[in-house]
A and B are shown apart, each in its own frame.
Chain A
Amino acid sequence: MKQIRILLSDDHNILRDGMRLLLERQPGFVVVGEASDGRETLDLVQTHQPDVVVMDIAMPNMNGIEATRRIVEKHPGMGVVILSMHYDESYVIRSLKAGARAYLLKDAVKSELIAAIHAVAEGRSFFSPKISRILQEDYVQALGRKGADDSYELLTGREREILQLVAEGRTNKEIANALSVSLYTVDTHRTHILQKLNLHSVPEVILYAVRKGIIM
């Protein structure tokens, strides 16, 4: 089994130490470095080329969202797990837009952290169940306010299938293979999905899927 190389990025030393201990006991995990602010994180990413970065948002010098944006820009395949105190969707959507694939709350239990690292290492998304629940609640409430024009009903079965795969972070090629259809077909479906749901980017698709409870 291939080892997952992890970089920890948090300005709180004790928390970082505890996390390191916790993660290093897990089989297949190796913590390759620790950074205490955004800039240091960028440097260490460059040095160690980790598979996954576990990142706090509130950090000195450069915040976690900005650091995520720069990391993903340079290393598109690198998985970033945001581990934050913030549970509001404004933080979630901005993290996703910056390129993070997982969002955990700091009161998350160990199993969530491990699951999130595995998920992003495989290119999938992961959210704390609490985050999913909050986002879903807000969404349901917003729908109620707007008069329940749930555009999800407009999607065909195939489109729903593809929506879930996109939200899980699969590439078009992976989706085409999984569904045994052509790349062109997947692309057409994706375009339709974005149009019908009035979405504009993968992070928005992910957030939508979380809100709808399609993915966790």
Chain B
Amino acid sequence: MRQRPWLVLVGGFGGLLLLMAAAETGALLFLNSLRHSGTELQAHFLARNRTLEQIRSDIYLSGTYARDSLLAPEVSGARAQIAALEGLRRETNTALDRYAQSLEPEESAPFRALRSEIEGYWKVLDRTFAWTAEERSKERFAFFYEELIPRRTSMLQIADRIAGLNEESLKRGDEKLGALFGRLQLSLVLIIAVTLIGGAALATLTIVHILRLEGEVGRRLEESVQAQASLQELSAKLLRAQEEERRALSRELHDEVGQSFSAVLMEAENLLDLEPTPEARPRLESIRAVAEKGINEIRNMALLLRPSMLDDFGLVPALDWQARETAKRTGMHVHLNSELTDELPEEHKTCIYRVVQEALNNCARHAQASSVEVAVRKESGKILLSVLDDGSGFDPERVRGMGLKGMEERVRHLGGTFEVDSKAGRGTKVEIALPLTSLNGNHKNETNPHPSV
């Protein structure tokens, strides 16, 4: 589930939708066929009923024709009736044949009886046509009331029974349809229940999963925020430690190593004063030269690490020195314009000094500037610094070297803002603003811990 939540979601919701679609289609098809069956059943019943009605009416009518034919004194006088009877006979037979085609099993016995009754009826009736006039007048009433009417009644009764059976069959068909409809209902209820339960389960799963993901995202976010904060704290600590180390190293070099070289120099001078042998003199002079060189190198190293003016006299003398030094080293015109009077907190001092140092380095190294303007001033509780050069410039959106990043980092640690404005061929302006009431109160008023001057 963790690896492929999309698969579960697609599978779950897709399955549910498919199930619903299948259930609806099935129900629709089933309903359609039910309606069709119902219509067919109805038509079937009506057709058979009509056939039976015809048989009954034919039989009934035949009685009338038979009576009329018997009323005629001569057979010859009943030709029309006899012909009509023949017609009825044919019609009845056709109807019987038609009905026989869709005979229900329980109808077959009464239907056979009806058929033989009708056969017998026609046969009996046939006899009368052969009667002489005498026979007719003598027999006809008896025949009519005792033979013909009872037969007709019996036939009609059978036909009624068949009609009753036909109705029953219709009823049975209806019941069957009703049962089918009930099954459809049941299966629909089942499908709806399954869909609802499945949907509810899926929704619950999805909700649980989403909530869990949400929780996880929240946790991760918090973690990453914390990680970022601790990373920033770490980098601030590193910067402080680095600065502290530089300061200690610079001082150590200056005050200890440098002094030792001075002592060596002094002792060499002493020995030179004591009229050394001609062999010793050049050696002593060489010692003196080495010591002198050593002092110079140590001093330069110490200044590069961290200029002692920064700790001894403050920011402006250090910036002054940096400006002079850069000018001397690179030939750039560096103009420092400082309106700072009171001393700054240690971290602010260091930050501004390092930013200026880096910016001047960039001007000399990358921008090939010929002149740089460094301005630092205090305004409404903020230290504002700008370094403006007339060099080649660059696109700050694309180029973001370690130097710029380092500057920005230093400034951000003190809650300040850092901006670089530059365009290719139009110089570069670095601007920072450091709030003096910095948020991290720990280091707010940390002044020089190692004052020497």
Q: Judge: A and B partners, yes or no.
A: yes
A145-B327 in contact given A18-B270, A22-B273, A94-B453 (Cβ < 8 Å): yes
Are the C-beta atoms of A88 and B321 separated by less than 8 Å? yes
Per the bound structure, the CA–CA distance linking A99 and B320 in Å amounts to 23
Q: Bound complex: CA of A189 vs CA of B170, how far in Å?
A: 145
Q: How far is the CA of A25 from the CA of B271 in the complex (A)?
A: 12
Asked if B118 is at the interface of the complex by the 8 Å CB criterion, the answer is no
- Among A40-48, A57-65, A118-126, A191-199, the one that faces the other chain is A57-65
Taking CB atoms, residues of chain B closer than 8 Å to A14 are 260, 263, 267
A138-158: which residues lie under 8 A (CB-CB) from chain B?
138, 141-142, 144-145
**Interface bits B296-329 vs A (CB < 8 Å: 1, else 0):** 1011000100011100110001001100100110
Find out whether the CB atom of A15 lies under 8 angstroms from the CB atom of B266.
yes
Annotate B267-286 by CB proximity to A: 1 below 8 A, 0 otherwise. Answer: 10110110000000000000
The segment from B91-99, B251-259, B344-352 found at the interface with A is B251-259
Contact of A58 with B453 at beta-carbon distance under 8 Å, contacts A85-B299, A141-B328 already known: yes
- CB-based contact A110/B259 at 8 Å: no
Complex CA gap A90/B303 in Å reads 13
- Convert A104-115 into 0s and 1s, putting 1 for each residue whose CB lies closer than 8 angstroms to a CB of B: 011101100000
The reply on A72 being an interface residue by CB < 8 A is no
Smallest Cβ-Cβ distance to A111: which chain B residue: B269
Q: A15-B259, A22-B270, A106-B265 are in contact. Are A58 and B333 (CB under 8 A)?
A: no
> Residue on B with the closest CB to A137?
B328
* Pairwise interchain contact A88-B453, C-beta atoms closer than 8 A: no
Q: Which of B299, B313, B453 contacts A87 (CB 8 A)?
A: B299
- Which of B273, B288, B334, B453 gathers the greatest number of chain A CB atoms within 10 Å? B453
Smallest CB–CB gap between B209 and chain A, Å?
68
State whether the Cβ of B431 lies closer than 8 Å to any Cβ in chain A: no
Do B299 and A22 have beta carbons less than 8 Å apart?
no
> Looking at the complex, which one of B263, B299, B327, B453 makes contact with A12 (CB distance below 8 Å)?
B263
B299 CB contacts on chain A under 8 angstroms: 85-87
In the complex, how many residues of chain A place their beta carbon closer than 8 angstroms to a beta carbon of chain B?
Answer: 33
Report the nearest B residue to A12, measured CB to CB. B259
Question: Which residues of B sit under 8 angstroms from A87, Cβ to Cβ?
Answer: 299
Task: Report if B380 contacts A (CB, 8 A).
Answer: no
Secondary structure of the A contact surface, majority rule = helix
Residues of B close to A15: CB separation below 8 A = 259, 262-263, 266
Mostly, the B contact residues are helix
Q: Is the CB of A106 within 8 A of B313?
A: no
- Let me know if A110 and B273 touch, CB within 8 A: yes
Minimum C-beta distance from A55 to chain B (A): 12
**A66 and B313 alpha carbons, distance in the complex (Å):** 12
* B288 partner residues in chain A, CB cutoff 8 A: 109
The answer to whether A25 touches B327, judged by C-beta atoms less than 8 angstroms apart, is no
> A1-31: contact bitstring with B at CB < 8 Å (1 yes, 0 no)?
0000000000010110011011001000000
Chain A residues near B309 (CB, 8 Å)? Answer: 88, 90-91
The verdict on B411 contacting chain A, using a C-beta distance below 8 Å, is no
A90 to B265, CA, bound (A): 25
Residues from chain A with a CB closer than 8 A to the CB of B452 are 57-59, 63
Whether A106 pairs with B262 at a CB distance below 8 angstroms is yes
Which A-chain residue is minimally distant from B313 (CB atoms)? A90
Q: Does the CB pair B266–A18 fall under 8 Å?
A: yes
Cβ of A2 to closest chain B Cβ, rounded Å: 23
CB contact between B266 and one of A22, A66, A145 (< 8 Å): that residue? A22
Decide if B364 is an interface residue (CB 8 Å cutoff). no
The residue on A at minimum CB distance from B325 is A88
Q: Given known contacts A18-B263, A22-B273, A58-B254, is B324 in contact with A141 (CB within 8 Å)?
A: yes
Task: Compute how far the CA of A91 lies from the CA of B321 in the bound complex, rounded to whole angstroms.
Answer: 11
10 more contacts with CB within 8 A, not counting A25-B273, A144-B333, are A15-B259, A18-B266, A22-B269, A58-B255, A63-B451, A88-B309, A90-B313, A90-B320, A94-B313, A141-B324
A-B pairs with lowest CB-CB distance, top 6: A18-B266, A90-B317, A15-B263, A14-B263, A106-B262, A107-B295
